[in-house]
C-alpha cells in the first residue's frame, strides 16, 4: 500500500464542505481506484466556529490559508477561496514554492495569472489542476486536454455560466423581463446579491480564457476576451428568437481563424434543436470541435457542492495516481502567444431589433443603411401595426462582417424614426 | 527527450488508415503534448498490395498479427482487426504476454473476454486501453473512469450504435418503414451488408457490457445483457411517439438497483427535449449519473475513421505519458462479480400498440387484461375508425412491473380481436 495522499483544504464554503463530504463518503472507493487513501489533514476558513455539517475532528485547523499552503506533511493544497488576487493568489504561490501540488476551482485566479502560475508549477515540478474551475462537474478540462489530445482543436464554445442560462430559460418559459427574473433568482439563491460577475459575462469570460489556453496550447489572455452580458436581452427578443427557430444563450466562444484566435462572450441565437439550444436551466455545456474527432458535446451541472467536489476529486485522484499532464496541454516553453482576432473581424449572421415609429419610409431608410454597408438582409418581420407609435421591427442578415454591421447600426440608430438604441444579437449556426 | 513510443498496428481498414493519417498529421502536436514522439514502426493487414492512402515506407510489414504483436522493439500493440475470438484474441494475448501495452477498438473481444484480458494485463504490468471500443470519438471511458472517478455511478445509458440511430432518425424524418430505410443505409455505407450485429442490438450490447464494468467496477458480463433490436419498430410507432412527446431510440442501459445490476439494450421512448431525445442521426450519446456530479451527458461521433483514430490516439498519449488507470476502474482483485437484475424485474412505464378489429367490447377486454395484472393505464388513443377492420390502438401505462406487463400482453395478444402480436416499447423518462 502506497502512503495516503494528504490534502489541505483552504475555504470551507459550499464547495469545501462538499469536498469534505465526498472524501469521507467515498473513502474506500477512492482507495480502490487510486491504490492509496486520500485524506484531508488540514483546513482553513474564515470563521472557525461555524457549523459546516462536516466532521473536522482529527483535521488540523489553520487561520491563515498561506500558512496552511506550506503546512508540513501536506501533499496537495486545495484552494477554494476564490478571487483573482489577495490571499488566494498568495496561498497558491506559497504552496507551489513549497513543492505542494495545487488543485483549485478559482477561475478568476487562473484567467488573470494562469500562465505565470503554470510556469511556477512546471519549474517546481508540481501539478496545478483546475477541473473544477470550468463547467463545474463536467470533465471538460480532462476531455479537451486528454480525451481529445490527438486533435488540433478548431473551436471550443459553450454555456459557461449557469446563472445566466437559468435567467434566460426562466425569461422564456415565464415570458417575464430580465429584472423580474433576476430578482427571483436572487431570492432563490441562483444569483448572487451582487450579480454583475455572472450577468455581465465576466465569470464566463474567465472560464473561456482558461478553455482557450487548454484548447489551443496558448498563453492565457483574459484581457483579449470580448465580453457582453445579458442585461439587454428582452422578453421580446426571446419571443422573436423562438419564432425564428432559435434560443438565446450567453455563450463563450474561442475560435481559431486565419487572423488569430477569437475569444468572445455574448448573447447568441443558436438553433433550438442544437445541443446548446437544448440545454436549458442551470446546466452548462461545452462543445469542442477537433480536426479528427469533429464535434464533441459535454453537458452537466456547472456549479453546486456535489458537482464541483466531483471535479476537485478527479484532480486529486489524478495526483494520487501520478497521472500528469502539462497545465495548458503543452509545456510552458511551447505555449504560443495568443494572437487575438478582434470582435470586429467576426463574420456571421445577425439578428437586429429596432423600435421604430410606424410611418411610411422608415423601412426604406433602414434597408438603405444596410445596403450601403453591403449587409444583405435575410428576413424581416413587422408584426404589430400602430400608426405614429413605436413598434418593434426585427430583421436577420446573411453572413456579413461585424465591422460593416456596426457601421450600419450606427446609421440606423441615428435615424429619427428609430426611438431606442438598436438591439443586435449574433446568430451562431452550430 | 524521452525515447519515442513505438507502435505496431494490426488491421489497416478504415480505422487503421485513419490512425496512420493522424499519427503523421499530428506528429509534432503529439510530441509537444507527450514529451516524446509516437511512431508507427510496424503494421499487419490482410492484403499487402492494397493502396491505403497512407505512406507505409519505413514501416515494417508483417503478414501475421500475432507475430506483429511480439515484434521486437515495439512498445504498444494496437489491435484494429475486430472479432471476439480468432486472430484478434490470439494477437492481443500474445502482445500482453510479451509485455506490450495493448490499445484496442474491439468491443466484441472485450465484451466476451474483458475480465480475462484485464487480469492478464494487470499481472504483466501493462496497459489494456479501449477508449475507441465504446462510443467512438467520445471520451466516454476516460470521462467515466477518470473524470467521474469521485462518484459512485448509479446509472449509465446511451445511444451506443450510430447505425440504429441513423435508421430510426431516417424513419421519422422520411416516414418510411424499417426495411426501406435499412436498404438505403446499406447502399450509403451506413449499414453493413450483414446488418444483424447492429440492428439486432448485439454491437450496442457489447459496448454496454464494457461500460457497465467500468462504471460499477464489476466483471464484464455480456451474457447477462438483455438484448432486443429495432427490426420491429414501425413507422406507425415513431409517429405515435412524436404525438406523445417522445423519440424512439435504441438504448443501452446499465442501472444499479437494490437487486443487482440491470443491463439491457432495447428500443426506448425518451422525451423529445432530453439530451438523448435530441441526439439524431449517426451520433452516439452517453449519460452517466453519479452520486455527487448528478448527470453528465457526452455526445459525439460514434464511428468513422477520424473519431475512432482520435480515441485510439488518446490511449496512446496516455501510455506515452505513463498515465495509467486500472482496466475496469479498480484492480482486478477488487472487481465485484456482477449480480444481474433480470429484465422481468424492470419497473417503468410502457407504450403498447395493438392492431385490433374495430368492434364494440374490444377495448373493454384489453382494459380488463391490464386491470387483472394491476397495470394502470395512463393514456389511450384510437384515432382511426374503420368498423370491422383492423385499426391501431395505442396505450401508455403508469409505472408498473415488467413481469406484470408481460403477463397482460400475453392475455391481450391472445384476444380474438387482436390481429397482430402487441408491440411494446419501454418508456424511459430520463
State pLDDT tens for residues B30-67.
Answer: 999 999 999 999 999 988 877 777 788 899 999 999 99
Chains A, B: CB contacts within 8 A come to 194
Per-residue pLDDT, A331: 96
Q: Quote the pTM value.
A: 0.96
A26-35, B18-27, B41-50, B114-123: the lowest-pLDDT one: B41-50
Superfamily of domain A140-303+321-343: Dihydrodipicolinate Reductase; domain 2 (3.30.360.10)
CB-based contact (8 Å) between B335 and chain A? Answer: no
Write out the three cell numbers for A103: 488543485
Inter-chain CB proximity B307 and A293 less than 8 Å = yes
For residue B337, the distance in angstroms to the closest alpha carbon of chain A comes to 15
Per-residue pLDDT, A96: 98
For residue B278, the distance in angstroms to the closest alpha carbon of chain A comes to 7
Nearest to A42 by CA among A14, A15, A78: A78
Inter-chain CB proximity A294 and B306 less than 8 Å = yes
Residue of chain A nearest B278, judged by CA positions:
A273
Per-residue pLDDT, A360: 84
| Nearest-by-Cβ selection for A314 from B30, B147, B313 | B147
Q: Does domain A5-133 have CATH number 3.40.50.720?
A: yes
| Nearest-by-Cβ selection for B314 from A33, A146, A317 | A146
Measured between beta carbons, the chain B residues lying within 8 angstroms of A300 are 293-297
| Nearest-by-Cβ selection for A142 from B30, B142, B306 | B142
- CATH 3.30.70.260 domain position(s) in chain B: 347-427
Inter-chain CB proximity A307 and B318 less than 8 Å = no
Per-residue pLDDT, A193: 87
Report how far apart, in Å, the C-alpha atoms of A144 and of each of A77, A159, A316 are. Answer: 24, 16, 18
Residue of chain B nearest A145, judged by CA positions:
B33
- Per residue in A380-417, pLDDT tens? 998 878 888 899 999 999 999 999 999 999 999 999 99
- Per residue in A221-275, pLDDT tens? 999 999 999 999 999 999 999 999 999 999 999 999 999 999 999 999 999 989 9
Per-residue pLDDT, A57: 87
Per-residue pLDDT, A34: 96
Per-residue pLDDT, A386: 84
A44-48, B369-373, B425-429: the lowest-pLDDT one: A44-48
Q: Grid cell 455545456 — which residue?
A: A285
A25, pLDDT greater than 60? yes
B191, pLDDT greater than 60? yes
- CATH 3.40.50.720 domain position(s) in chain A: 5-133
Of all residues in chain B, the percent with pLDDT exceeding 70 is 100
Write out the three cell numbers for A11: 475555504
By the 8 A CB rule, do B105 and B130 touch?
A: yes
Q: Please give, one letter per residue, the 3-state secondary structure of chain A.
A: CCCCEEEEEECCCHHHHHHHHHHHHCHHHHHHHHCCCEEEEEEECCCCCCCCCCCCCCCEEECCHHHHHCCCCCCEEEECCCCCCCHHHHHHHHHHHCCCEEEECCHHHHHHHHHHHHHHHHHHCCCEECHHHCCCCCCHHHHHHHHCCCCCEEEEEEECCHHHHHHHHHHHHHCCCHHHHHHHHHHHCCCCCCCHHHHCCHHHHHHHHHHHHHHHCECCCHHHCEECCCCCCCHHHHHHHHHHCEEEEEEEEEEECCCCEEEEEEEEEEECCCCCCCCCCCEEEEEEEECCCEEEEEEEECCCHHHHHHHHHHHHHHHHCCCCCCCECECHHHCECCCECCHHHCEEEEEEEEEEECCCCHHHHHHHHHHHCCCCEEEEECCCCCCCCEEEEEEEECCEEHHHHHHHHHHHHCCCCECCCCEEEEECCC
| Nearest-by-Cβ selection for B330 from A32, A294, A312 | A32
Superfamily of domain B5-129: NAD(P)-binding Rossmann-like Domain (3.40.50.720)
Residue of chain A nearest B145, judged by CA positions:
A33
CB-based contact (8 Å) between A26 and chain B? Answer: yes
Residue of chain A nearest B23, judged by CA positions:
A150
Q: How many CB atoms lie within 10 A of CB A332?
A: 17
Please state which CATH number belongs to domain A347-427: 3.30.70.260
For residue B271, the distance in angstroms to the closest alpha carbon of chain A comes to 12
Which residues face B289 on adjacent strands? B155, B295
- Per residue in A52-99, pLDDT tens? 777 888 999 999 999 999 999 999 999 999 999 999 999 999 999 999
Helix (H) or strand (E) holding B355: strand B347-357
B249, pLDDT greater than 90? yes
Inter-chain CB proximity B33 and A147 less than 8 Å = no
- CATH 3.40.50.720 domain position(s) in chain B: 5-129
What's the rounded Cα separation, in Å, for the pair A330 and A362? Answer: 55
By the 8 A CB rule, do B315 and B130 touch?
A: yes
Please state which CATH number belongs to domain B140-302+326-343: 3.30.360.10
Per-residue pLDDT, B416: 94
Per-residue pLDDT, A146: 98
The mean pLDDT value of chain B amounts to: 95
CB-based contact (8 Å) between A32 and chain B? Answer: yes
Q: DSSP 3-state assignment of B360?
A: coil
For residue B407, the distance in angstroms to the closest alpha carbon of chain A comes to 38
Per-residue pLDDT, B152: 98
- Per residue in B201-242, pLDDT tens? 999 999 999 999 999 999 999 999 999 999 999 999 999 999
Residue of chain B nearest A330, judged by CA positions:
B33
Per-residue pLDDT, A1: 57
Measured between beta carbons, the chain B residues lying within 8 angstroms of A296 are 137-139, 298-300
A136-145, A201-210, A383-392, B87-96: the lowest-pLDDT one: A383-392
By the 8 A CB rule, do B341 and B256 touch?
A: no
For residue A357, the distance in angstroms to the closest alpha carbon of chain B comes to 39
- CATH 3.30.360.10 domain position(s) in chain B: 140-302+326-343
Among A6, A107, A142, A207, the one annotated catalytic: A207
The mean pLDDT value of chain A amounts to: 95
DSSP code of residue B157: E
Task: Specify whether A207 is catalytic.
Answer: yes
B19, pLDDT greater than 90? yes
Q: For an interface test with B, which of A40, A146, A278 has the most B Cβ atoms less than 10 Å from its Cβ?
A: A146
Q: For an interface test with A, which of B36, B136, B139 has the most A Cβ atoms less than 10 Å from its Cβ?
A: B139
Per-residue pLDDT, A47: 82
For residue A275, the distance in angstroms to the closest alpha carbon of chain B comes to 7
The more confident residue out of A151 and B273 is: A151
Measured between beta carbons, the chain A residues lying within 8 angstroms of B330 are 32-33
Inter-chain CB proximity B296 and A299 less than 8 Å = yes
CB-based contact (8 Å) between A297 and chain B? Answer: yes
Per-residue pLDDT, B1: 57
**Antiparallel, parallel or unpaired: β B76-79 and A60-62:** unpaired
Inter-chain CB proximity A306 and B313 less than 8 Å = no
What's the rounded Cα separation, in Å, for the pair B257 and B248? Answer: 24
| Nearest-by-Cβ selection for A30 from B142, B150, B311 | B150
Q: For an interface test with A, which of B34, B35, B150 has the most A Cβ atoms less than 10 Å from its Cβ?
A: B150
Angle between helices B162-174 and B178-188 (to 10 degrees): 120
For residue A162, the distance in angstroms to the closest alpha carbon of chain B comes to 15
By the 8 A CB rule, do A143 and A235 touch?
A: no
The more confident residue out of B274 and B265 is: B265
By the 8 A CB rule, do B406 and B344 touch?
A: yes
CB-based contact (8 Å) between A158 and chain B? Answer: no
Amino acid at each position: 500500500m502506497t502512503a495516503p495522499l494528504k490534502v489541505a483544504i483552504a475555504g470551507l464554503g459550499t464547495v469545501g464542505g462538499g469536498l469534505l463530504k465526498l472524501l469521507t463518503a467515498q473513502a474506500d472507493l477512492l482507495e480502490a481506484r487510486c491504490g492509496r487513501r486520500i485524506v484531508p489533514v488540514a483546513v482553513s476558513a474564515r470563521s472557525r466556529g461555524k457549523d459546516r455539517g462536516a466532521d473536522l475532528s482529527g483535521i488540523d485547523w489553520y487561520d491563515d490559508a498561506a500558512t496552511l499552503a506550506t503546512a508540513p506533511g501536506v501533499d496537495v493544497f486545495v484552494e477554494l477561496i476564490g478571487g483573482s488576487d489577495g490571499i488566494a493568489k498568495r496561498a497558491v504561490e506559497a504552496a507551489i514554492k513549497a513543492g505542494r501540488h495545487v488543485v483549485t476551482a478559482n477561475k478568476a485566479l487562473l484567467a488573470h495569472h494562469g500562465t505565470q502560475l503554470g510556469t511556477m508549477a512546471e519549474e517546481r515540478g508540481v501539478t496545478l489542476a483546475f477541473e473544477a474551475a470550468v463547467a463545474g462537474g463536467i470533465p471538460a478540462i480532462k476531455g479537451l486536454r486528454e480525451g481529445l489530445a490527438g486533435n488540433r482543436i478548431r473551436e471550443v464554445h459553450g454555456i459557461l455560466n449557469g446563472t445566466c442560462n437559468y435567467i434566460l430559460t426562466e425569461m422564456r418559459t415565464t415570458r417575464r423581463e430580465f429584472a423580474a427574473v433576476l430578482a427571483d433568482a436572487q431570492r432563490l439563491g441562483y444569483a448572487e446579491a451582487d450579480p454583475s460577475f455572472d450577468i455581465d459575462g465576466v465569470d464566463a469570460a474567465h472560464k473561456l480564457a482558461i478553455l482557450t489556453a487548454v484548447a489551443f496550447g496558448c498563453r492565457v489572455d483574459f484581457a483579449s476576451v470580448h465580453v457582453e452580458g445579458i442585461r439587454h436581452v428582452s422578453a421580446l427578443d426571446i419571443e422573436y428568437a423562438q419564432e425564428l427557430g432559435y434560443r438565446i444563450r450567453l455563450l463563450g466562444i474561442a475560435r481559431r481563424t486565419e487572423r488569430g484566435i477569437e475569444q468572445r462572450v455574448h448573447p447568441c441565437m443558436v438553433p433550438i434543436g442544437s445541443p446548446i439550444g437544448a440545454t436549458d436551466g442551470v446546466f452548462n455545456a461545452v462543445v469542442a470541435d477537433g480536426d479528427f474527432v469533429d464535434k464533441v458535446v459535454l453537458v452537466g451541472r456547472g456549479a453546486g457542492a456535489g458537482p464541483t467536489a466531483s471535479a476537485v476529486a478527479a484532480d486529486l485522484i489524478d495526483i494520487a495516481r501520478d497521472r500528469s499532464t502539462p497545465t495548458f496541454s503543452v509545456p510552458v516553453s511551447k505555449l504560443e502567444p495568443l494572437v487575438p482576432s478582434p470582435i470586429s473581424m467576426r463574420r456571421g449572421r445577425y439578428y437586429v431589433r429596432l423600435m421604430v415609429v410606424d410611418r411610411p419610409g422608415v423601412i426604406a431608410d433602414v434597408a438603405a443603411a444596410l445596403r450601403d454597408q453591403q449587409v444583405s438582409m435575410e428576413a424581416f418581420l413587422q408584426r404589430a401595426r400602430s400608426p405614429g407609435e413605436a413598434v418593434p421591427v426585427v430583421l436577420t442578415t446573411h453572413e456579413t462582417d461585424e465591422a460593416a454591421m456596426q457601421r450600419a447600426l450606427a446609421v440606423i440608430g441615428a435615424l429619427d424614426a428609430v426611438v431606442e438604441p438598436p438591439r443586435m444579437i449574433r446568430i451562431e449556426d452550430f
